[in-house]
Amino acid sequence: MKNKIKVFRAMYDLTQEDLAQAIGVTRQTILAIEKGKYVPSLELAFRIARYFKVNIEEVFTYDEESRTVDEK
C-alpha cells in the first residue's frame, strides 16, 4: 500500500505530531504508515483522508507488487 501522507502534510504544513493528534494516533504510527511499515485499518485510512478532505484513493493506492507487511 502506497500513500501520499507526507505530500498532504507538506501541503497543509503539518508535522507528524500535529496530524497524529488530529486523528488520534501516536506520531510513531504516522511515521510507520508513511514509511510503509504499517498498513492502517480502513477506518484509520478514512480518518486520514477525511482530515485532508479528499477521497481515500487520493491518499492511499493499492500496489500489487508491494504487498502488506503481514503478507511478506
The Cα–Cα gap between 60 and 5 comes to: 8
Task: Tell me how far, at minimum, the Cβ of 15 lies from other proteins, in Å.
Answer: 7
Task: Tell me how far, at minimum, the Cβ of 53 lies from other proteins, in Å.
Answer: 22
Task: Tell me how far, at minimum, the Cβ of 70 lies from other proteins, in Å.
Answer: 9
Pattern 52-71, other proteins, x by CB under 8 A: -----------------x--
CB 59 within 8 A of CB 45: yes
45 near other proteins, rule: CB under 8 A? no
Beta-carbon contacts of 43 under 8 Å, excluding residues fewer than 6 positions away, are none
Q: Which residues bind other proteins (CB under 8 A)?
A: 15-16, 24-26, 28-29, 31-32, 34-35, 37-38, 40-41, 44, 69
